[in-house]
A = this chain, B = another copy of it.
Amino acid sequence: MKGERAFIDGLRALATHPAARNLQDDCAVLELGSETLVLTHDMMVGGVHFLADADLADVAWKLVASNLSDLAAKGAEPLGVLLGHMLGDEEDDKRFVEGLGEALEHYGVALLGGDTSAGGPPRCYGLTAFGRATCSPVPSRTGAQVDDSIYLVGTLGGAMQGFQALTSHSGADATAFLRPIPRLAEGRALAPYVTSMMDVSDGLLLDASRIARASNVTMTIESQLVPLTSPEINRQAAMRWGEDYALLFTAPKAVNLPVPATRIGTVRPAVDAPVRLDNLPLREEDGLGYEHG
């Protein structure tokens, strides 16, 4: 979008605090007394993040899930959420509350406050989730080391298949797109073992390139090792699709991981591109995933 880069750069210039590692998709990590606080804020906008005929119960679920997934990648224990809600149709708002309640109950997270407003369409919803770190240092994008193994917890392609089912009206199962599951327990278990971690919200290859840039390494990934939910024919697309909320992390080869994870590659010294897929350099111009927006 025209002007977006300038805007983000403008914000980045303001975000000089060390807790503001990444303004757009990551969490703020802040020491507070004896604890370390982890905070994140994600928005969902009608026509951008969800379809016009979406059930708002699913929208609310996904809003909670996408924020909790950011906390999962920090190994954080969620403490609560604050909601910004643009009021709409009465039945839609009722469904929103139902889906919100289901997601909060599922994860044992408390709704602590927020704000409501008239306005729209499009409807705009924002959620702030915060929690406490459970290990130190808190996993980030910056710690990947040469010779580490690269792992995924979860599979790719399910959200893409679900989205296609919805837009084609095929009637196939769209749960993976509508009700993604953030991997909070896995994130907490893994946090003490990883050298870097993030959730795959914008596509494996794009998110891997972010770890690569932050850690000054090259992520070499073997596409055949990437675990898929979707059929083999979708393998290339699935690696560029976000919203599966798998956990992507690096860890030393010798480490015994506490949860099942799939090894998909190796961290190498920085070479010609942040990500090499099947020994070919990938560049951002090639389209690595979803650049939002």
5 A-B pairs within 8 Å (CB atoms) are namely: A4-B87, A6-B93, A7-B90, A41-B113, A118-B292
A7, B126: Cβ atoms closer than 8 Å:
no
Q: How many copies of this chain are found per oligomer?
A: 2
B43, A126: Cβ atoms closer than 8 Å:
yes
> When the two chains form the complex, which single residue of B23, B35, B42, B82 contacts A41, counting CB atoms closer than 8 Å?
B82
Residues of A within 8 A of B (CB): 1-4, 6-8, 10-11, 13-17, 19-20, 22-28, 30, 32-35, 37, 39-49, 79-80, 82-87, 89-90, 93-94, 96-97, 100-101, 104, 110-120, 122, 124, 126, 128, 130, 132, 292-293
A20 to B24, CA, bound (A): 27
Shortest A106–chain B CB gap in Å is 13
A113, B4: Cβ atoms closer than 8 Å:
no
- Answer whether A117 and B7 are a contact pair too, CB < 8 Å, given A2-B90, A86-B43: no
- Answer whether A33 and B30 are a contact pair too, CB < 8 Å, given A41-B115, A119-B122: no
B110, A41: Cβ atoms closer than 8 Å:
no
Shortest A130–chain B CB gap in Å is 7
Q: Please indicate the chain B residues that have their CB under 8 angstroms from the CB of A86 in the complex.
A: 43, 45, 124
B16, A110: Cβ atoms closer than 8 Å:
yes
Q: Please indicate the chain B residues that have their CB under 8 angstroms from the CB of A23 in the complex.
A: 111, 113-114
- Answer whether A39 and B113 are a contact pair too, CB < 8 Å, given A14-B104, A32-B79, A90-B6: yes
- Answer whether A126 and B24 are a contact pair too, CB < 8 Å, given A15-B110, A119-B46: no
A23 to B82, CA, bound (A): 9
A49 to B86, CA, bound (A): 12
Nearest B residue (CB) for A46: B119
- Answer whether A45 and B1 are a contact pair too, CB < 8 Å, given A28-B82, A33-B32, A97-B14: no
Closest CB pairs A-B (n = 9): A3-B90, A45-B119, A28-B112, A17-B110, A10-B97, A33-B35, A124-B124, A33-B34, A126-B126
A79 to B32, CA, bound (A): 9
A87, B124: Cβ atoms closer than 8 Å:
no
Shortest A59–chain B CB gap in Å is 13
- Answer whether A14 and B116 are a contact pair too, CB < 8 Å, given A41-B128, A80-B28: no
